[in-house]
């Protein structure tokens, strides 16, 4: 598994020698993620809810998690969804900048190690059939697969599927998002029963998608689910993820 990742990583590096890469955050030629953009990313500001990662005034649990623990053990995001990381995610999702998945996997792996998470299997949040057909790939999978390789964990994009199609979450309120995505996913018990799962997505806004996916995994018998996103949209960003 690690050897497969190393081969893929080497292939991306070889392509960079043949075709000079462009930074996903600022479009400068020379690297896929330049030092200036690396310096401009911002960690999610503390304090946050120790379960769902929501911003708080003081450390502890948010009111929602205090009332009822979500299906995942913990949800976290690497950085805030703004500036160069926002542009990079846009490039990954809509401009077929596929190499960014491999680039960000190294930062995600370091972050997961800092969190102390241990998993048997890495699973991406699945796209709907129509969206996958239009885009040709799942951006969450492009992050999840190299991350699994770096961590030495198994990867599958077949474990979790959409049980029904949903409308886009863009423009929906938190309540509408949760209702839109509820019960939309199904997991394969043969893969997840008794296992610890790392669930991967590109952006977390209200966390409703990651919660619905985690619920499907737990109902299929997963022992533990850790939910991770590359970036988190803060309340003042609104919910217009583009």
Count CA within 13 A, CB hemisphere, residue 55.
12
Q: What pLDDT was estimated at residue 242?
A: 32
Which residue carries 């075709």 as its tokens?
A: 19
Strands across the sheet containing 121-124: 74-80, 224-232, 196-204, 121-124, 154-155
If pLDDT is split at 50, 70 and 90, which confidence band does 19 have?
low
Q: What pLDDT was estimated at residue 129?
A: 84
Q: What pLDDT was estimated at residue 236?
A: 60
C-beta neighbour count of 20 within 10 angstroms: 10
Which pTM was predicted? 0.88
Q: Which two tokens stand for residue 189?
A: 């018990």
Are 197 and 119 in contact by the 8 Å Cβ rule? The answer is yes
pLDDT, one tens digit per residue, over 152-164 is 999 999 999 988 7
CATH of 2-237, one of 3.30.43.10, 3.40.50.10440, 3.40.50.2020, 3.30.479.10: 3.40.50.2020
Whether residue 47 has a cis bond before it, omega within 30° of 0 = yes
Spatial distance between the Cα atoms of 61 and 52, rounded to a whole number of angstroms: 8
Spatial distance between the Cα atoms of 233 and 237, rounded to a whole number of angstroms: 6
Cβ-in-10-Å burial (0-12, 13-18, 19+) of 170 comes to: exposed
Q: Which two tokens stand for residue 45?
A: 């500001």
Q: What pLDDT was estimated at residue 18?
A: 56
pLDDT (mean) for 14-37: 84
The backbone torsions φ and ψ at residue 153, rounded to the nearest 5 degrees and listed phi first, read: -105, 160
């Amino acid at each position: 598994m690690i050897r497969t990742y190393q081969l893929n990583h080497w292939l991306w590096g070889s392509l960079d020698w043949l075709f000079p890469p462009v930074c996903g955050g600022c479009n400068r030629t020379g690297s896929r993620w330049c030092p200036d953009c690396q310096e401009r990313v911002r960690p999610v500001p503390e304090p946050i809810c120790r379960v769902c990662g929501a911003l708080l005034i003081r450390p502890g649990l948010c009111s929602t998690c205090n009332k009822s623990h979500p299906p995942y053990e913990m949800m976290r995001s690497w950085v805030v969804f703004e500036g160069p990381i926002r542009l990079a995610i846009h490039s990954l999702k809509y401009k077929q900048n596929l190499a960014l998945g491999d680039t960000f996997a190294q930062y995600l792996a370091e972050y997961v190690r800092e969190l102390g998470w241990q998993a048997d299997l890495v699973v991406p949040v699945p796209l709907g059939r129509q969206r996958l057909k239009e885009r040709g790939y799942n951006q969450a999978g492009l992050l999840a697969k190299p991350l699994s390789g770096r961590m030495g964990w198994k990867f599958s994009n077949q474990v979790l599927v959409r049980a029904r199609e949903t409308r886009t979450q863009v423009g929906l309120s938190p309540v509408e998002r949760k209702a839109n995505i509820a019960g939309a996913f199904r997991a394969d018990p043969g893969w997840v029963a008794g296992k610890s799962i790392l669930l991967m997505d590109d952006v977390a806004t209200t966390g409703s998608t990651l919660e619905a996916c985690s619920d499907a995994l737990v109902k299929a018998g997963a022992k533990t689910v850790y939910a991770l996103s590359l970036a988190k949209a803060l309340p003042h960003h609104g919910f217009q993820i583009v």
